[in-house]
Amino acid sequence: MAIINQATKELQVKIVYYGPAMGGKTTNLVQVHDHVQTAAGNKGKLVSLATSSDRTLFFDFLPIEAMTIKGFKTKFQLYTVPGQVIYNTTRQLVLRGVDGIVFVADSQYEKMPENVESFQNLVDNLNSLKLNLAEIPYVLQYNKRDLPNAAPMEYMEYLLNNREVQVPSFGATAHKCEGVFESLNMITRLLLHKFINQSVPQYA
Amino acid sequence: MATLPQLIEEDIRHLDGVLREFIASTEAMATLIIDKGGFLITQQGDAHDFDMTSIGALASGAFMANQTIAGLVNETSFNSIYQQGENASMFVVNVDEHCLLVVIFKSHSGVGVVKYYAATAVKRIARQLKIARERTPESGLDLSVLNVAETAPLFRKKKKA
């Protein structure tokens, strides 16, 4: 869980982008890396452990510092997981210590079974780490809204956001940087609310 | 999932002292204490030469991947991993349930001396983390000073030129 270092007044938070293969998780990180406005030195390098065909092999990693949080140096570590089904062990590794999740779903009609399967896989992997999705802040991002075969948002909400407690969701066209910052800011806000509302901070 | 204890200034000062002594003994280039989730807790050495945050995240990933391999070959765990390079090498060793010690050192130094002194350093680091855990496990940092209403949007898009 998040590291809160009293000595340096530093808060470190891990956000994982999860979702089916080719859904746009890495694109989200690339867009954040390319477009985020930061003070000098507050944005780290985007590290991608990818195959020669640019498919994520292990994870992508982007360390970044938020612009202003009163009195605290707040460092965010953004990770993606490999979406391909065979890399499930890797996904479990990346989820270790997760604080918040952005689930990136693919809006194309034919990808719906993969979206649902990936979401269930997320729940299962969290359970294997003794974590419960209901206790972890997450947001849903319906990516590829610009494609002609994109399913209506209402349909995606019915499929993926149909639980007792509904979470914030965003339509996105990640390659145009639409919906990317909205999703990131919302998960960040949810995380900070969680930290503040907890009478006992997660750990630090 | 259990988590690390809250670290106060005294803890960090002690951990940094252990790392400094370790560097003096081994002539390592840099050394880091990281969380197994990939967070950098503290570091000493030539931080300017390396991207320590990325090294921490990647070293943790590599170590944890090796733990999975250990399970696949019916081994309880691989306690450490060693990557040998032409000029620089890396040694990662388990500290406790949550933490790892990462050492970057010149390859010609040899891993033997690093492993030898790491054994002592690991014990001292683990002891300090235990002290932190037992200090006041229920106490936490007051985060009420974080005013979320003032933080949005935390991340802003650069304006187009």
Cβ distance of B6 and A69 shorter than 8 Å: no
pLDDT per residue rounded down to tens, chain B (161 residues): 456 677 888 889 999 999 999 999 999 999 999 988 888 899 999 867 788 888 998 999 899 888 888 988 999 889 999 999 999 999 999 999 889 999 999 999 889 999 999 999 999 999 999 998 888 655 555 555 555 555 556 777 777 65
Whole-number pLDDT of residue A44: 78
Note whether residue A204 is domain-resident.
Answer: no
Residues from chain B contacting residue A203 (CB–CB below 8 Å): 3-6
Are the CB atoms for A13 and B134 separated by under 8 Å? no
CB neighbours (10 Å) of residue A182? Answer: 17
Whole-number pLDDT of residue A56: 75
Whole-number pLDDT of residue A122: 97
Asked, as a colleague might, if the bond just before B5 is cis with ω within 30 of 0, I would say no
Note whether residue A39 is domain-resident.
Answer: yes
Nearest of A81, A106, A100 to residue A174 by alpha carbon: A106
CATH class of the region B9-150: alpha beta
Q: Dihedral, CA atoms, B20, B26, B29, B32, nearest 10 degrees?
A: -50
Note whether residue A202 is domain-resident.
Answer: no
Whole-number pLDDT of residue A204: 37
* Nearest-neighbour CA in chain A from B57: distance (Å): 8
Note whether residue A151 is domain-resident.
Answer: yes
Burial of A195 (0-12, 13-18, 19+ CB in 10 A): buried
Note whether residue A203 is domain-resident.
Answer: no
Residues from chain B contacting residue A67 (CB–CB below 8 Å): 154-156
Q: Tell me which residue has tokens 């999932």.
A: B1
Whole-number pLDDT of residue A201: 42
Whole-number pLDDT of residue A1: 60
pLDDT per residue rounded down to tens, chain A (204 residues): 667 676 677 788 899 999 999 999 999 999 999 998 876 656 778 888 877 777 777 888 998 887 556 667 788 899 999 888 888 888 998 999 899 999 999 999 999 999 999 999 999 999 999 999 999 999 999 999 999 999 999 999 999 999 888 999 999 999 999 999 999 999 998 988 887 776 444 433
A116 contact B CB<8A = no
Whole-number pLDDT of residue A202: 40
The predicted model scores a pTM of: 0.84
Range of the domain at A34: 3-197
Residues from chain B contacting residue A66 (CB–CB below 8 Å): 151, 154-155
* Nearest-neighbour CA in chain B from A110: distance (Å): 32
Note whether residue A149 is domain-resident.
Answer: yes
CB neighbours (10 Å) of residue A153? Answer: 15
Note whether residue A137 is domain-resident.
Answer: yes
> How many domains are there within chain A?
1
Q: Which of B40, B65, B146 sits opposite A93 (nearest CB)?
A: B65
Helix (H) or strand (E) holding A77: strand A73-80
Whole-number pLDDT of residue B142: 53
Note whether residue A143 is domain-resident.
Answer: yes
Are the CB atoms for A76 and A185 separated by under 8 Å? no
Are the CB atoms for A105 and A21 separated by under 8 Å? no
Residues from chain B contacting residue A130 (CB–CB below 8 Å): 1
Whole-number pLDDT of residue B37: 86
Strands A36-37 and B156-157: antiparallel
CATH of the domain at A73: 3.40.50.300
Whole-number pLDDT of residue A198: 66
Residues contacting residue A81 through CB under 8 Å, at least 6 positions apart: A16, A17, A18, A25, A56, A59, A87, A90, A91, A94, A95
